[in-house]
Chains A and B, each alone.
Chain A
Amino acid sequence: MTKPVLATTSLAGCFGCHMSFLDIDERILELIDLVEFNKSPVDDIKTFTKQCDIGLIEGGCCNSENIEVLKDFRKNCNILVSVGECAIMGGLPALRNGISIKECLEEAYLDGPTVKANTEKIMPNDEELPMLLDMVYPCHEIVKIDYFLPGCPPRADLIWNALVALVTGDELKMPYEVVKFD
């Protein structure tokens, strides 16, 4: 039997959820037997090469590239899972949601206390750069998300248990200690 295919990505996140995923310790050997990786930072495959069974999404959507990647994942994955607070509710990047883009950029590139080198007062505006969105959006407000794993990051046991449950069809084990919002 062919193994289920897994893809993962980090959008507006800090890679902490991927780090937590790797925190499954020696179970990483079982993981290799359990799934095959496709597009993911774990194996560095950059583009989808086949239809995947499961896509794990870390991070919310803060720019046009996040939206594009997320929609690509929705198209190429049968099941999408929001992993972590950023994917679920925007997380810490969404702290900027009450502040205008103009103010954010001015603080970052012109007026911030650590801005010293930008003597020519340049704002990044290359057309190659993704456009910032007006707000940071939870993934499920952009595409349909099938499952949610809260935590910052979600505990390794929660990610592992969820993955095993999805692959085997067994009931997901969710002890009280592993479901946390921080």
Chain B
Amino acid sequence: MVKKDEKISFEIDGQTCSAWAGQPLLDAAKDNGIFIPSLCHVQGLKPAGSCRICNVNVNGRNMTACTTRVSAGMVVENHTPELNELRKTIIEVLFVSGNHFCPSCEKSGNCELQALGYRYQMMVPRFPYEFPVKGVDARPDLIYHDRNRCIMCKRCVRSITKDGKHVFALNGRGGEHLHVAMDVDLASQLTEAEAQEAMDICPVGAILKKEQGFLVPIGERKYDKAPIGSDIEAQNG
């Protein structure tokens, strides 16, 4: 659907942007040095629209930027107090609806959910903590799956396969038991590189490689010094 022969122009927060027609808005914004926050989107994967953090206002309506394709003359609002507050609210909901113990998590400092908490200056979630009971599956040799930290972004569901078969899948649809489940047999067959890929695709610490952790000291991790998205915004000067 992306037309690599047709350049169009559109507008984000008053800035004129150019992109290929049909490009996902989130990717197009990135190419123009504009950061739209997201937890479920990965460039190249089929957009899922599941985390809702990339909500932007397109021609007067709120839409997710990952599932919206750019078209000529589109007028987009991104960095507004209303949208930023909405995003912060979603981040707070994610923090209370899982068990996110940052101080004891190996992903801390490299976690995208935590990084968004920093970017939107979440000092405390406004909702009561649920402390849900969720499981940890550590049976595969190289990785373990901690559902306490899963935010159901479905990045792993969409990307991690072994011999063409999905390692992770949504299970228990239809109510409060919906969760991402791991196929232990397939997960046990993952190579070192595939295990690393599974860990890296997870925005939080739900999929982690065994026998390594806290490799990078505090102060040198990905989001210790600069907010998430600041690398994208730096292109814009």
Contact = CB atoms under 8 A, between A and B. Distances in A.
Main secondary structure of the interface of B (DSSP, over half): loop
A179 interface: yes
A180 B118 contact: yes
A94 B131 contact: yes
Pick the 5 closest A-B CB pairs, nearest first: A152-B103, A181-B102, A97-B131, A148-B124, A148-B123
A89 B129 CA distance: 7
B103 A176 contact: no
B123 A150 contact: yes
Contacts of A141: 128-129
A181 B105 CA distance: 11
B104 A95 contact: yes
Given A177-B225, A180-B118, 12 more contacts: A85-B103, A88-B123, A88-B124, A89-B95, A91-B101, A95-B101, A98-B132, A148-B123, A149-B123, A176-B226, A181-B102, A182-B108
Nearest to B133: A98
Nearest to A179: B118
Contact of A92 (B95, B103, B121, B128): B103
A148 to B, nearest CB: 4
A82 B124 contact: yes
Chain B interface bracket (under 10, 10 to 19, 20 to 34, 35 or more): 20 to 34
Nearest to A152: B103
A182 B129 contact: no
12 contacts: A89-B124, A89-B129, A92-B104, A94-B129, A98-B99, A98-B132, A174-B121, A179-B121, A180-B118, A180-B224, A182-B103, A182-B108
Contact of A176 (B128, B218, B225): B225
B124 A98 contact: no
Contacts of A182: 102-103, 105, 108-109, 218
A121 B120 CA distance: 50
A140 interface: yes
Contacts of A150: 123-124
Interface residues of A, number: 27
Interface string A85-108: 100111110110110000000000
Contacts of B132: 98
B114 interface: yes
Contacts of B73: none
A149 B122 CA distance: 10
Interface in A146-182: 147-150, 152, 174, 176-177, 179-182
A10 to B, nearest CB: 16
